[in-house]
Amino acid sequence: MESFWTQVKSKIKQTIPDHSYRMWIDPVELLEYDGNSIWLSTPNEFFIRRLKENYLDVFENEFSRLGSEVKIQFRAEPGKTGKVKKSGKKVEGAYPALSFKPKKNKSPQAKLPGFDACFRSGRMMKKGFTFDDFVVGDNSSFAYSAALSLARGTINGSSILYLLGKTGLGKSHLSQAAGHHIITHGLSSRVYYVTAEDFTNEMIFALRNNKIESFKEKYRKKCDVLILEDIHFLAGKTATQKELAITLDYLLDADKKIIFSGCERPDDIPKLNDQLKSRLSMGLVTEIGIPDFPTRVKILQKKANTLNCAIPMDVTEYIAQELCDDVRQLESGLFGVAAKGEIMNQTIDIQLARSVLANITHNRKRITIDLIKKLVCNEFSISEKEIISKSRKQKIVKPRQVAMFLAKKYTDLPIKKIGTSFKRYHATAIYSVNAIEKEIRTRGLIYEQVNYLSTKLESGRF
């Protein structure tokens, strides 16, 4: 039976997404079977509910190959796996079978819509920010896997994760998903979720009210998982940086988990002391990029299912095509389309979507490689003919490299096509992008010029 169970898990792994398998199926173990029922162990009751809601039919389909109908039963077995027994007797040390039934005739305590309780932290984690609700794409697969691995304690050699990315790409979702996973799987309840601004304000309050020792004890001794968002906010805040660096030493010595998020790499955050910078750089830095078109479509489909709203595929693709900056912008467009269709009792079609998105994209031009060329040429006072010419003069080469870097950053075009648009080989385009990235790290003139051009592109003022 153990061999058959291995085959069942292997078959299930082939039918569901890899991240879903790692999250919900892999931890499940076979306890016993008696010919009519099969007992499976799970970490807790929350796990049982999720398995029954989403994967019970998957288990039943695979176990049906035994030749007769069997009943799947689950038991919450924290920290236990049990031994497989072919009998009707209970496995030693196992708990009674649990079924997740809602209690009746009892009014639940009112909650803020969309939020869970404040898990001993300064901020509440959003209910929907879980690994199950995160849409994984090429832009985020590594960050997703790293966050899940850290939450499960399977990252070797590091207990620090740094999530890097622009605003609205999913840093908060993944950091909070790790917190939810740790809490719901019973790994710890001492999860502190705060922003760098919260941490700073709390420290200032503690200093002014003679509570600094309580503040230190809270973060140094009573914290198992520290989730600190928007770390770039600490730029120039010397006292807070010093206190955080010491706190991190305490947490690292105690083998606690730490998750940071920020818009800049640790080395690129200005006015950050070397002590804190070295701590931030100790961990695994993973970047979340802008989702590509297929990923944007998946995000919209998942959000539409959450809203229980039927959005035609052509409308979904239209929204994904027009709104390509970040996930929040996508959600805004989808919610607007769904709301207008319901409120105005109108059919959701391209025309309705166009009227809604006009308000979101007002004064915003679509960023294309041709617009980038034009903007760069104006900034560096060269012609569009010169930027794609064979000239190797420095006054031409540098703007060309900047334009390729911006095209890689702001369009969905593959690097080979970017090179072709400038009449350059694939390798030359890669070299150009890398050259600009290297110069940006020196924070010199190119850094200022790229920031200026990026600001104009992102604001639509070009």
Q: Which CATH architecture has domain 141-287?
A: 3-Layer(aba) Sandwich (3.40)
Angstrom distance (rounded) from CA 222 to CA 250? 11
CATH of 2-86, one of 2.40.10.220, 3.40.50.10800, 2.30.130.10, 3.30.300.180: 3.30.300.180
Q: What is the pLDDT of residues 364-408, one digit of tens each?
A: 556 788 889 999 999 899 999 999 999 989 999 999 999 999 998
- What pLDDT, on the 0 to 100 scale, is given for residue 73? 85
Q: What is the pLDDT of residues 424-438, one digit of tens each?
A: 988 899 999 989 988
Share of the chain above pLDDT 90, in %: 18
Whole-prediction pTM value?
0.55
Question: Is residue 253 within 8 Å of residue 99, measured between CB atoms?
Answer: no
The CATH superfamily of 369-459 is DnaA protein, C-terminal DNA-binding domain (1.10.1750.10)
Beta bridge partners of 75: 41
**b or e along 152-167 (b: 16 or more beta carbons within 10 Å of the residue's beta carbon)?**
beebeeebbbbbbbee
Q: Which helix (H) or strand (E) holds 40?
A: strand 37-42
Closest residue by Cα to residue 152 from 192, 175, 185 = 185
Closest residue by Cα to residue 172 from 202, 186, 193 = 193
Q: What is the pLDDT of residues 267-316, one digit of tens each?
A: 888 788 888 888 888 888 899 988 888 899 999 998 888 878 888 998 89
Angstrom distance (rounded) from CA 280 to CA 248? 9
For the chain, the domains span: 2-86, 141-287, 293-360, 369-459
Instruction: Count other Cβ atoms within 10 Å, centred on residue 109.
Output: 5
User: Are domains 2-86 and 293-360 of this chain identical in fold?
Assistant: no
* Residue type (1 letter), 366: R
- What pLDDT, on the 0 to 100 scale, is given for residue 382? 93
Q: Which CATH architecture has domain 293-360?
A: Orthogonal Bundle (1.10)
Q: What is the pLDDT of residues 51-61, one digit of tens each?
A: 887 788 778 77
Unique residue bearing structure tokens 């190797």: 392
Question: Is residue 299 within 8 Å of residue 305, measured between CB atoms?
Answer: no
- What pLDDT, on the 0 to 100 scale, is given for residue 67? 56
Closest residue by Cα to residue 406 from 378, 376, 435 = 376
Instruction: Count other Cβ atoms within 10 Å, centred on residue 81.
Output: 13
* Residue type (1 letter), 342: E
